[in-house]
Structure 1
Amino acid sequence: MADLTPVFLCFKWGKGYPCRYTNILYRALTDMMQTPFRFVCLTDDADGLAEGIEAIPLPDFAMDRDDWHKGMWPKLTAFAPGLFLPGTPVIMMDVDVVVLRDLTPLFDHLRTNDGLHIIREIPDTLPRWFPKVFGKPLRSNSSVVGFIAGTQDHLYELFHDKTYADVRHIGNDQNFIHHHARDRHSWPIGWMISFKKDLAFHFPVNLVRPIRRPDTFVVIFHGTPNPEDMTKGPFKRWGSPEKFGYFPVRWIKDYWTTYSRGTDR
């Protein structure tokens, strides 16, 4: 019988995120998941990955390596034919996320709803409060993407032979997915939220109000801060110019401390 065990898929390349981010995500999922899964990392350097992580070489694509970071294009290799048996539920995740509970319902959602599932772009504060004045069409955020293996192979086929010059007008991987995925859907509202846009506070509220642990599956991060930034000691500033803090965020620090076992780099 074919092995269609659900897969969590992530990436490790370049120097943006040390391997400890991948290992922390793997350990968190291992601790929280109530159902069996595989954890696969597409990488050009498997050194330092925790035992239990399946390292698979990045599928080939034409873009020069110097251009990979100009839109996180290697993520489109997740759709390369043959990586997983057709019919396998796959959830592609960025490593700079915080998982807060068992993600089995995400796989159940994939099995009962066709198409590709991606986060609807999360608006900033002003567009959210005053959409008629500051609003713009919302695209997609690829921090968490779900699909069934074999149903979105065309995304890789459309991309793998392209140079950066061919795709730079699209902007990045998530715009490419947004425009070219078949039967694209947004994850249900509230399943994934943004730390920066949904949880962090503007000045001066940020100085007096703690950031509470949300009731969600995954907290995503983009831009600044990164999760690790909020695990430091007091009076270590983190965040963007608009939303920042000077103290650790307790539930993020607890998560990071719990799953940072070992001597990860």
Structure 2
Amino acid sequence: MQTIVCMKWGTRYPALYVNRLWSMIKRHTVRPTRLVCFTDDPTGVDPAVEVFPLPEIDIPDAIAWTPWRKLSLWQSPLANLSGDVLFLDLDIVITGDIDAMFDYKPGAFCACENWTQIGKGIGNTSVFRWNVGRNSHIFTDFEADGEGIWRKYGIEQVYISRVIDRMEFWPSDWCVSFKHTLVPYWPLNFFRTPKLPEGTRIVAFTGKPDPDEAAIGTWPVEQAWKKIYKYARPTPWIDEYWQ
């Protein structure tokens, strides 16, 4: 049985995102696979998804509801999980077979090479596989000095990348970023629709836009002037996969 994990907290991503993730997983796996969702609100989540409360973690208030909370997954024991487990953010779109992600470099921590820091040894944790019980120091060290680790590393994926015993990057064509890989450079982004490369298994939507927004060509920005360059044309193929 292959195990995939996601986390849902707060209100940004409703149960719909968990349910669509589960639907995509079923369409892109052949082997027996389960989805485990750690959440503070299971309302509306498909009954076929295994639901657990968010894992406990001693975390500074300022980052309590940010990706730093993912560090809670590195504790051991963790619910009923064991072995190599695949983590998927809710804001991803699965476009190809993901069974292979359980065969790649067994036992190693596998992550996307962060698209904005190529060559710097930083893994992006939108899509990663870890071995439950291995490298539990990532969790215990953070609990011992969460404030200090946060101040030192700034971003949880930098912290993990610097202290993990072994990190491997997924093949670059397996996991791509919508805005960093697929959206054409300015000003071509105003004229060309992002294309899905052959061989892509997962498209990550880090930050904004989310999949539903990108599908219709909406890119929310906090400062109006950023609309000068933050734009992507409506991308119909997203709806083909994100369902």
Which TM-score tier does this pair reach, normalised by the shorter chain?
Answer: 0.7 to 0.9
Alignment check: 8 A CA contact 2:83 2:132 kept: yes
What letter is aligned with 1:38?
A: R
Q: Distance in 2 between matches of 1:99 and 1:189?
A: 15
1:46 aligns with 2:33: no
Question: Structure 1 residues 117, 183: CA separation in 2 closer, same or farther (over 3 Å shift)?
Answer: same
Distance 1:14 1:85, change over 3 A: closer
Deviation per residue, 1:30-66 (Å, 9 max, x gap): 1221111110111122122112111111221112455
3-state DSSP of counterpart to 1:109: coil
Relative to the length of structure 2, the TM-score reads 0.87
Structure 2 residue ranges without an equivalent (≥5): 221-225
- Pairwise mapping of residues 1-265 of structure 1 onto structure 2 (< 5 A)? 5-69=1-65, 71-83=66-78, 88-111=83-106, 114-123=107-116, 137-164=120-147, 166-215=149-198, 216-232=200-216, 237-238=218-219, 241=227, 242-245=229-232, 247-256=233-242, 259=243
Aligned residues with identical type, % of pairs: 28
Letter in 2 for 1:255: Y
Q: Give the count of matched residue pairs.
A: 236
Q: Which residue of 1 aligns with 2:223?
A: none
Alpha-carbon distance between aligned partners in 2 of 1:248 and 1:180, rounded to the nearest angstrom: 40
Q: Deviations over 1:132-154 (max 9, x none)?
A: xxxx8352211111122222222
Q: Secondary structure at the match of 1:11?
A: strand
| Structure 1 unaligned spans of 5+ | 129-135, 260-265
Greater gyration radius:
1
CA distance in 2 between counterparts of 1:152 and 1:37 reads 24
Write the letter of the residue equivalent to 2:98.
L
Partner AA of 2:236 in structure 1: R
CA distance in 1, matches of 2:71, 2:150: 12
Q: CA deviation at 1:120?
A: 1.1
